[in-house]
Amino acid sequence: MATETTLILFKPDAVEKKIVGTVLARFQAEGFTIRGIKMMQLDDAILTEHYAHVADKPFFPEIAAFMSRCPVIALALEGVDVITRVRDLLGPTNSKEAEEGTIRGDFGEDMMTNVCHASDSPENAAAELKRFFKDDELFSF
């Protein structure tokens, strides 16, 4: 098991429902370390880059509208096997399929309104962290 850093985006539904602290506390209870955290408004450029895998799909404008309707919170989280463990804590992407006790099962609504985005691999985590954080915004201690 390796120490990794992953990207979490608290989506607009988490910010609007005021559950960011509750969800962050769950991550910290697992022993993960915050390496960076910031609030930011996502624009078309970053949304198109982040969702490049679906940017040409007819539903992309709906995703872009949702993700830009209010600021999101970007979180760089470090820990042993953090990528897999965070995704297990979140539950399936579709909140309707997530079990009670998972973050999405407890707070999510559907496929898009699902509290958080989390990197799904070390390669994607590295790319996503660079997309949302400058080098001097990530800390090690």
Catalytic pick from 7, 24, 117, 118?
117
Task: Establish whether 50 is a catalytic residue.
Answer: no
> And the tokens for 49?
């880059």
DSSP string, 20-67: HHHHHHHHHHTT-EEEEEEEE---HHHHHHHTTTTTTSTTHHHHHHHH
Q: Residue 117: in which H helix or E strand, if any?
A: strand 116-118
Which residue is listed with tokens 């608290």? 10
Query: Which are the catalytic amino acids?
Result: 117
